[in-house]
Structure 1
Amino acid sequence: MSSDSAPAARDLIAFYLETGVDCALEDEPVDRLTARDRPVVAPAGASSVPARQPPTRAVAAAPRGAIAPPPEIAIESAREAARTAPSLDVLRTLLDSFEGCALKFTASRLVFADGNPQARLMFVGEAPGRDEDIEGLPFVGRSGQLLNRMIAAIGLKRGDVYIANVIPWRPPGNRTPTPQETQICLPFIRRQIELVNPDVLVTLGNPSTQTLLQTREGIMKTRGRWFDYDTGTRTIRAMATFHPAYLLRSPSYKRMAWLDLRAIAKALEGTALEQSTST
């Protein structure tokens, strides 16, 4: 590589990283725009058996060779598996072996949760990113560092709360999960919330808010408002606030997030007082 082309290569690699392209699926590049239609010419004297064609994008998207079932079957399978989980450990094992979501086959690992399983406060985001996929823990990148500061602002530590995502596998290139992927993973996060049984549930950002709180309104209208989240056995107070990644892009909204955090802290104090007086 010449000295002139080195900066261009670095810029291209930096662009790939910014868009979420951080790993190679194969050792050699494949032109997938032309490979499907390119004729294969056999040399003289070669076997008449057709040569193996270069792999298509569908094969590359599932490097383990597994194919997820149709969404309707996968959703029902997820509901049944989540329903049978008596504990968080069992739920994690069931998720780790669940093959109904194609995201599992492109992610590096399952990103289940972090924090205290007996926490009174639970945060739920949308899906893991690159850093989370590497570490196997939710909110460990820049967004996670900001979330840690948000938690500290109300007098708690990361180990005092429970943190999870609606989607437990990183979508390729950090793309937005499809509605089908969200519906397939939904029974697991619902069961996760039920097993943790927090006093306050906080949804981070628009996708997790709309999914869990069953609203079509945007985060600007839902943030700071209290919702009732029904687990089937108990009603939990829930509030939506901005995702830390959004606050990093739009720091002017941190003041609104701080107001949300104050309301959350006040609610935790109230439930603690109620529990102490009842005992």
Structure 2
Amino acid sequence: MISANDLSAPELAALLHFHADAGVEWMLEDVAIDRFAEFEAMRAEQGKRPQPADRDAGSGPAPSAARPQASVNGSAGRQAAPARPAREAAPSAAVTIPDSQAVAEAEFAASSARSLDELRAAMEAFNGCNLKNSARSLVFASGNPKPAVMAIGAMPNADDDREGHPFSGRQGAMLDRMLAGIGIDRASVLVTNVIPWRPPGNRVPSVRESDICRPFIERQIALAEPNHVLIFGNFAARFFFGGTETIHEMRGVWREIHIGGRNVPAFATLHPLDLIAAPISKRLAWQDLLAFRKGVAV
């Protein structure tokens, strides 16, 4: 087994990043715990309970309870530590907000924002979504605040979470190429995600987590007032269009989403990560992007 003392500083940093990307939320307990002492205390407690033979003979605890237990290194048993009391969690982890209340609070916070800057501040102060507890950062919309086109993905990945910006890393580079292919500069687009906090291990957000985050993404769209919305991937398409169809069934067709009292034309295509994982899908995405460009120009 490799000890932490055997690793260099860069190797330790890489290991910590690996655990964070895998969804590990806490590396240590709040206080040091001697698991061996807990086990010894449990055995000692069990040994103090009267056994049937002890009751008949009127004797005390079983002899095994009186003997010092061997320690992990074979020396005489040390005094067993008392059983660890229930840990008092930090306030942010101890308070659990009911889902219905969290949705209502999200709706109030979102509707109170009069600009994207105010909305970001409201989301940073919002503690009703458990995803915030495990994420490194809030990944808020970036780009042109009053765009003709708004690009929306599903949720932040590890690169986004580290950088604090949507569509970072390889998927960001792929998005840039996709937009540039149809003559759209990313700087002219407002880019964001449905879910603003990275789920642990990149898992799919639950229905309730999606419900809690819905007021925030809808408010982003309402404040930005885009002329068209370009939606990437399975999760985001289902989020806005409903149903259980896959992105291959929903892609390439213009629809409308009702946001902020107006109908916004929306178009779904494959996510940049889909193209990285399966380059053969680029031909489908290219067909979609050409259709999107044609619709935007009309």
Q: How does the TM-score come out when normalised to structure 1?
A: 0.80
| 183-192 vs 62-71, greater mean Cα deviation | 62-71
Deviations 1:193-236 (A, max 9, x none): 11111111011111111111223321111100110111142211
SS of equivalent to 1:156: coil
SS of equivalent to 1:262: helix
Q: Hey, what does 2:22 align to over in structure 1?
A: 21
The percentage of aligned residue pairs carrying the same residue is 41
| 207-216 vs 192-201, greater mean Cα deviation | 207-216
Q: Hey, what does 2:270 align to over in structure 1?
A: 242
Name stretches of at least 5 consecutive residues in structure 1 with no aligned partner: 271-279
Alpha carbons 1:229, 1:236 under 8 Å: kept: yes
Q: Does 1:109 find its partner at 2:137?
A: yes
Deviations 1:127-164 (A, max 9, x none): 10111111100010211110111011111221110111
Distance 1:55 1:89, change over 3 A: same
Q: In structure 1, what is the Cα distance between the partners aligned to 2:140 and 2:230? A: 17
Alpha carbons 2:174, 2:272 under 8 Å: kept: yes
Q: Hey, what does 1:163 align to over in structure 2?
A: 191
Q: Hey, what does 2:251 align to over in structure 1?
A: 223
Alpha carbons 2:227, 2:264 under 8 Å: kept: yes
Alpha carbons 1:113, 1:138 under 8 Å: kept: yes
Q: In structure 2, what is the Cα distance between the partners aligned to 1:254 and 1:164? A: 22
Q: Hey, what does 1:207 align to over in structure 2?
A: 235
Name stretches of at least 5 consecutive residues in structure 2 with no aligned partner: 45-77
Q: In structure 1, what is the Cα distance between the partners aligned to 2:87 and 2:278? A: 42
SS of equivalent to 1:123: strand
Higher gyration radius (CA): 2
SS of equivalent to 1:246: helix
Q: Hey, what does 2:84 align to over in structure 1?
A: 52
Distance 1:71 1:45, change over 3 A: closer
Alpha carbons 1:126, 1:205 under 8 Å: kept: yes
Alpha carbons 1:25, 1:63 under 8 Å: kept: no
Q: How does the TM-score come out when normalised to structure 2?
A: 0.75
Alpha carbons 1:125, 1:205 under 8 Å: kept: yes
Alpha carbons 2:143, 2:188 under 8 Å: kept: yes
Q: In structure 2, what is the Cα distance between the partners aligned to 1:209 and 1:95? A: 23
Q: In structure 2, what is the Cα distance between the partners aligned to 1:44 and 1:82? A: 56
Distance 1:28 1:117, change over 3 A: same
Q: What is the number of equivalent residue pairs in this alignment?
A: 254
Q: In structure 2, what is the Cα distance between the partners aligned to 1:89 and 1:83? A: 13
The CA deviation at 1:86 is 1.2
SS of equivalent to 2:267: strand
CA RMSD in angstroms, aligned pairs only: 3.4
Q: In structure 2, what is the Cα distance between the partners aligned to 1:28 and 1:18? A: 16
Deviations 1:71-114 (A, max 9, x none): 11111111121122111111111100000001111111100111
Amino acid at match of 2:143: G
Alpha carbons 1:200, 1:264 under 8 Å: kept: no
Q: Does 1:83 find its partner at 2:111?
A: yes
SS of equivalent to 1:202: strand
Q: Does 1:258 find its partner at 2:286?
A: yes
Which consecutive aligned stretches of 4+ in structure 1 deviate over 6 angstroms post-superposition? none
Alpha carbons 2:171, 2:272 under 8 Å: kept: yes
Amino acid at match of 1:20: D
Q: Hey, what does 1:140 align to over in structure 2?
A: 168
Alpha carbons 1:63, 1:106 under 8 Å: kept: no
Q: In structure 2, what is the Cα distance between the partners aligned to 1:63 and 1:259? A: 50
Q: Hey, what does 2:153 align to over in structure 1?
A: 125
Alpha carbons 1:209, 1:215 under 8 Å: kept: no
Q: In structure 2, what is the Cα distance between the partners aligned to 1:67 and 1:203? A: 34
Q: In structure 2, what is the Cα distance between the partners aligned to 1:206 and 1:18? A: 27
Q: In structure 1, what is the Cα distance between the partners aligned to 2:151 and 2:289? A: 12
Alpha carbons 2:228, 2:265 under 8 Å: kept: yes
The CA deviation at 1:23 is 5.9
